[in-house]
Amino acid sequence: KRHLISAGDLSRDDALLILDTAEELARVSERSIKKLPTLRGRTVVNLFFEDSTRTRISFEAAAKRLSADVINFSAKGSSVSKGESLKDTALTLEAMGADAVVIRHAASGAPHRLATWVRGSVVNAGDGTHEHPTQALLDAFSMRRRLGRLEGLKVAIVGDVLHSRVARSNVLLLGTLGAEVTLVAPPTLLPVAVETWPCQVSYDLDAVLPKSDVVMMLRVQLERMNAAYFPSAREYSRRYGLDRARFGRLHDDAIVMHPGPMNRGMEISAEVADSPRSTITEQVANGVTVRMAVLYLLLGGSEPAIGTSAADPA
C-alpha cells in the first residue's frame, strides 16, 4: 500500500505485518542499536495543522532512527496564516522533495484530499473526528505486548467517542484483529451512526469493567464540544471516570490505556494513570517503534529494516 489513511484500509495481514515489523524493530532497539540506515536519502515531512506532542515527536524520532531527513512544518508561524491553502502548502513541500507526508489536520478527510495532490506517501496523523490509524496500531501493539494476544481480547473504549478519531480507528483495527470492542459513553457523546460500527455499545461502565481485559479511557475533548451536551466535569467523572473504586472492579490482569493527553481527575484519576497496570508511557514508547515500521513499509527502505550488520551503533 502507498498511503495509511484509515485503519479500515488495513487487512488482517497488513496489520499483522506492521505489528510484527514493529516487534522486530523493538528487539533491535533493545540491543541498544538506536539508528538504522534504511531510509537514508529519503525525506519525511511532518505537516501539522493541529497541536500535537506525542504524534509529531514520535514521527520525527521514528524517521530519524531510520536515517531519513525530516522537515517539520507547523501551521502556526507559516504562510497558512496569510491564507495559503492546504493544496498549495502541500505542493510547496513536495517541491522540496517529500517522499512521505505525515499530516494532522482539523478537517476530517484532509489526508484523503492530500493523497490526490502529492506523489509521495500520505500518513494520517489524526484528521478531525475521523481517524488516527497509527494510534490504533500502537495501541494494538501495546495490548499484544502486555497480554500476549489480540484475538478474543475484550476491550472497553470509554468516554467521548463522539469526538474521538482514536476510538474509530481502534474499533476498525481491533475488529480486523479479532478483539471484541465495547464502547461505553453517555448517549450524547456517541456518534449517530454508532449502530453501524462493528462493536457493542453500553452506557454502564460498572457493568462492563469486570468483563474487560483492556480499558481504554478517552480524553474529554472540551475544545470540540460545540453543541454536544456535556453535563459537568464533576458529573461526567462520577458516571464515567476511572477512579480507584472502579479500578478495583477490574480483574487482576486487566490493563488501563489512554492515548494522551489526559485530563487527570476527569476521565482518569492520577492514581490509576500512574499505576503499574497502566500502559500510558509504554504506549508513547511503542508509538516510535510502530511509526518506524509504518514508514519503513510505506517507503520500502533500500536496505533491510531489520538486521544489524549495517546498523549504526548508538
Q: Is 281 in the site for ligand CP (CB under 6 A)?
A: no
Rounded Cα–Cα distance for residues 203 and 185 (Å): 5
Torsion angles phi and psi, residue 216, rounded to 5:
-105, 110
- 132 among annotated binding-site residues: yes
Which cell is 98 given? Answer: 517529500
Q: Is 134 in the site for ligand CP (CB under 6 A)?
A: no
Question: How far is residue 139 CA from its own chain's centroid?
Answer: 7
Q: What is the DSSP string of 25-45?
A: HHHHHHTT--B--TTTT-EEE
Our CB check for ligand CP shows the closer of 38 and 135 to be: 135
Q: Is 164 in the site for ligand CP (CB under 6 A)?
A: no
How many residues interact with ligand CP (rule CB under 6 A)? 9
State which amino acid sits at residue 133: P
Asked about 104 being catalytic, the answer comes back as yes
Q: Is 111 in the site for ligand CP (CB under 6 A)?
A: no
- 82 among annotated binding-site residues: yes
Nearest distance from residue 27's CB to ligand CP, in Å? 24
Give the range of 32-40, 52-60, 228-236, 302-310 binding ligand CP by CB under 6 A: 52-60
Helix (H, G, I), strand (E, B) or coil at 289: helix
* Dihedral angle sign, alpha carbons of residues 239, 244, 248, 254: positive
Q: Which of 93, 130, 94 is nearest to 111 (CA)?
A: 130
- Residues 202-241: x where in contact with ligand CP by CB under 6 A, - otherwise, as a string: ----------------------------------------
Catalytic residue among 132, 246, 258, 291: 132
Q: Is 261 in the site for ligand CP (CB under 6 A)?
A: yes
How far lies 171's CA from each of 46, 114, 126, 127, 182, in Å? 26, 24, 15, 16, 9
Catalytic residue among 21, 38, 55, 289: 55
- 104 among annotated binding-site residues: yes
Asked about 54 being catalytic, the answer comes back as yes
Question: How far is residue 140 CA from its own chain's centroid?
Answer: 10
Q: Which residue of the chain is nearest ligand CP when measured via CB?
A: 55
Catalytic residue among 34, 40, 54, 249: 54
Asked about 1 being catalytic, the answer comes back as no
* Element (DSSP H or E) covering residue 217: strand 214-217
Which of 29, 135, 142, 237 binds ligand CP (CB under 6 A)? It is 135
For the chain, where are the alpha helices, taking DSSP H only?
12-30, 54-65, 86-95, 110-117, 133-147, 165-176, 205-208, 233-240, 244-247, 270-273, 280-299
Q: Is 55 in the site for ligand CP (CB under 6 A)?
A: yes
Cite the active site residues. Answer: 54-55, 82, 104, 132
Q: Which residues bind ligand CP (CB under 6 A)?
A: 52-55, 126, 135, 259-261
- Annotated binding site for L-aspartate: which residue ranges? 82, 165, 219
